[in-house]
Structure 1
């Protein structure tokens, strides 16, 4: 797994230049195109954070002692 900011940077270099160029060709200003690109990357990062939090919450109870476990 790569850290979130590094993965976000890589996603911007690989996947989003087409969207950026498309917005520019569609008549958007460079500021608007970069704003859309930034919002998409922040959304991807937020989804990763939420997924990690849900996973931790779901797995946090696995280490607790089961009531039906035999005491030795």
Structure 2
């Protein structure tokens, strides 16, 4: 049973875009690895940009420049 966990920043991704990501990841696992879509689980976590950072700064600060 494949389980894919996708983490992205919360910044305007639409419901339709997330549905497309889920569909395409599922299709890729089926096509390349032969995984059954019925058993494939995709989870998308949207992380607030204040809670995601690198190089010592939050994504909010970095994007504000």
Q: TM-score, normalised by structure 1?
A: 0.36
Bigger CA radius of gyration:
1
So what's the TM-score if we normalise by structure 2?
A: 0.39
Structure number with higher relative contact order (C-alpha < 8 Å, ≥ 6 residues apart): 2
Higher strand content, 1 or 2: 2
Question: Which structure is higher in helix share?
Answer: 1
